[in-house]
Amino acid sequence: MNDTTKLLDFLQQRVPSDGSHKELCTTVLPALVDAIADIARVLRASSAVAAVGTANAFGDDQLNVDVSSEEAVRAALDSVSSVVTASSEEDPVEKPTGCRPEWPPANAEDDSAGEIYTVAFDPLDGSSIIAPNWSVGTILGVWRGASALHQSPKQRQVAAVLGVYGPRTSAVVALRIPGQEPLCFEVAVGEQGAVDSVVVRPDVKFAGAPFKTRYFAPANLRAAAEDEKYMKLVTHYIQSKYTLRYSGGLVPDVVHALVKGHGVYVSPVTGASKAKLRRLYELFPLALIVECAGGKAIDPATGDDILEHSSKDTDERAGLVCGIAEEVEFVKKSLLG
């Protein structure tokens, strides 16, 4: 596989065409890459980033780019007949898409209606760092059935996409289709979306030891002043000469580890610093990406795998430790004993 392989050709070559997930590869994933290309254009055309005077259902103030990014993803999904419902951080209710307005919120375990999906997404992750023009991202999770709630993330979430908007637009895509080997790859997103997008890394995997450089990304660093265990962990990284790579953007920080082959992202939860990351829109898709790349993603409060438990509502939140498996295990022991 070379670096000029078109995305659509790559999916046709690497994903068995047994028919059970044909639409996922021929229409759903291409539509999501199209949405990432559209958001990239929106961001380039936005001469200023400003609050629009509204808040989403969670009470978070909305920026003009949040609204435009939401609209871009919704428009892409409305063109795909197999995506019957969708929800997002901006509109956290599973609603029928424009393509299937008559579709009721059916039992997600019932696949008798054919190949149907729901998409749970964060259209623009990184609102706090977008004004200074830092890299931000989009997080998308694809689930079998009409609902992602009360469903097993390990069994029902079949794909995830992380879009990254920086000097260039890229996407990391993971597929975990039942009965097939997990797949994780990187795409250079073209101006026209999926049509001219190419796969630049066909197998995204964390590297094995020995490591030339070790990286750490300590999110919620203020919590180190409240939690002695977290302070000791950060001190360990510094004394062990790890390289700090933390931008404040969840997507670019996790993708950095995937590109470098090593890294650990730590976002703990303390009594004064509550969990901020939503399971459905951020944690589940990120965890699928990390696991398909050979890494691990856990809840720092319990040590459980992120994908071990379902989400009962759209506002469930948790902390996150993810990255290379041995580093995640070290963090787990350091924080939980």
168-188 confidence digits (pLDDT tens): 999 999 999 988 899 999 999
Measured between alpha carbons, how far is 289 from 223 in angstroms, rounded to an integer? 26
How large is the average pLDDT for residues 283-304? Answer: 97
Residues 6+ apart with CB under 8 A from 282: 89, 122, 125, 139, 250
- Give the pLDDT band of residue 102 (cuts 50, 70, 90): low
Name the residue with tokens 């079949």: 158
Segments in 121-227 forming alpha helices (H): 127-130, 153-156
Flag whether pLDDT at 52 surpasses 90.
no
Which residues of the chain does CATH 3.30.540.10 include?
5-201
Measured between alpha carbons, how far is 106 from 134 in angstroms, rounded to an integer? 40
- Give the pLDDT band of residue 51 (cuts 50, 70, 90): confident
Which DSSP helix (H) or strand (E) runs through 195? Answer: strand 193-201
- Give the pLDDT band of residue 304 (cuts 50, 70, 90): very high
Measured between alpha carbons, how far is 198 from 201 in angstroms, rounded to an integer? 9
Flag whether pLDDT at 41 surpasses 90.
yes
- Give the pLDDT band of residue 111 (cuts 50, 70, 90): low
- Give the pLDDT band of residue 58 (cuts 50, 70, 90): confident
- Give the pLDDT band of residue 110 (cuts 50, 70, 90): low
Segments in the chain forming alpha helices (H): 7-14, 22-23, 29-45, 64-77, 127-130, 153-156, 228-239, 250-260, 284-292, 325-336
- Residue 278 has which token pair? 């939503």
Q: Taking Cα atoms as reference points, which of 317, 281, 318 lies closest to residue 302?
A: 318
Query: How do 317-318 and 157-165 pair as beta strands?
Result: unpaired
pLDDT, greater one: 255 or 56: 255
Furthest-apart CA pair in the chain: how many Å?
Answer: 59
Residues 6+ apart with CB under 8 A from 11: 25, 26, 29
Question: For the residues of 87-122, what is the DSSP string, one character each?
Answer: EESSS-S-EE-TT-TT-----TT--TT-S-EEEEEE
* Domain 5-201 homologous superfamily, CATH: Fructose-1,6-Bisphosphatase, subunit A, domain 1 (3.30.540.10)
Give the side-chain half-sphere CA count within 13 A for 100.
20
pLDDT score of 103 = 55
pLDDT score of 47 = 78
pLDDT score of 128 = 85
Measured between alpha carbons, how far is 234 from 255 in angstroms, rounded to an integer? 21
Percent of the chain with pLDDT over 90: 78
Name the residue with tokens 């949040």: 66
Distances, alpha carbon 259 to alpha carbons 78, 207, 263, in Å = 32, 10, 10
pLDDT score of 112 = 57
Q: For residue 309, count other CB atoms closer than 10 A to its CB.
A: 16
Residues 309-332: pLDDT tens digits?
999 999 999 999 999 999 999 999
Measured between alpha carbons, how far is 127 from 145 in angstroms, rounded to an integer? 30
- Give the pLDDT band of residue 272 (cuts 50, 70, 90): confident
Which residues of the chain does CATH 3.40.190.80 include?
215-336
Q: pTM of the full predicted structure?
A: 0.94
Q: How many residues does the chain have?
A: 337
Mean model confidence pLDDT for the chain: 92
In CATH, what class is 215-336? Answer: alpha beta
How large is the average pLDDT for residues 110-139? Answer: 88
- Residue 125 has which token pair? 């992750």
How large is the average pLDDT for residues 265-290? Answer: 93
- Give the pLDDT band of residue 28 (cuts 50, 70, 90): very high
Q: Vertex 236, ends 235 and 237: CA angle to 5°?
A: 90
